[in-house]
Chain A
Amino acid sequence: MGKTESKRKHAEFLILLALLDGPKHGYEVSKFIEERSNGFFRLPFGTLYPILHRLEKEGFLSIELEDKNSIRPKTVYKLTKSGKNQAHSEVSDFHFFIKATNKLVPI
Chain B
Amino acid sequence: MKSEFELSNQVKDLKIPYPHKLLLSVELEEHMLYRSQSEDMGGFSGEETSELYEIHNNFIFKFLDRLSPKSRRFFEITILGLPVVGFLIYLIKEDFMIQFIREGGAVMLPILLLGFALSVRELHFFFRTVVVKDHSISSLNIDTSSVLVGGLALLVLGIGATALGIYVSANGVVSGNLPVAIFLTGLKESMGPMIVSSTLSALVLIVHFSTRRMLVAWKAPIRS
List residues of A whose CB falls within 8 A of some B CB: 4, 25-28, 30-31, 42, 44-47, 49-50, 53-54, 57, 63, 65, 71-75
B30 to A49, Cβ gap below 8 A? no
A44 to B40, Cβ gap below 8 A? yes
Binary flags per residue of B41-54, CB closer than 8 Å to A gives 1, else 0:
01111011001100
Q: Which residues of B contact A44 (CB under 8 A)?
A: 37, 39-40, 42
B35 to A31, Cβ gap below 8 A? yes
Besides A4-B47, A73-B219, 5 other A-B contacts (C-beta < 8 A): A31-B34, A45-B40, A53-B20, A54-B51, A75-B27
List residues of B whose CB falls within 8 A of some A CB: 7, 19-20, 22-24, 26-35, 37, 39-40, 42-45, 47-48, 51-52, 55-56, 219
Q: Within the complex, what minimum Cβ distance (angstroms) separates A25 from chain B? A: 6
Chain B interface SS verdict (over half): helix
> 3 tightest CB-CB pairs across the interface, nearest first?
A44-B39, A45-B40, A50-B51
Q: Within the complex, what minimum Cβ distance (angstroms) separates B17 from chain A? A: 13
Q: Within the complex, what minimum Cβ distance (angstroms) separates B30 from chain A? A: 6
A72 to B55, Cβ gap below 8 A? no
Tell me which of B23, B35, B37, B51 contacts A75 (CB under 8 A): B23
Q: Which residues of B contact A54 (CB under 8 A)?
A: 51, 55
Q: Which residues of A contact B40 (CB under 8 A)?
A: 44-46
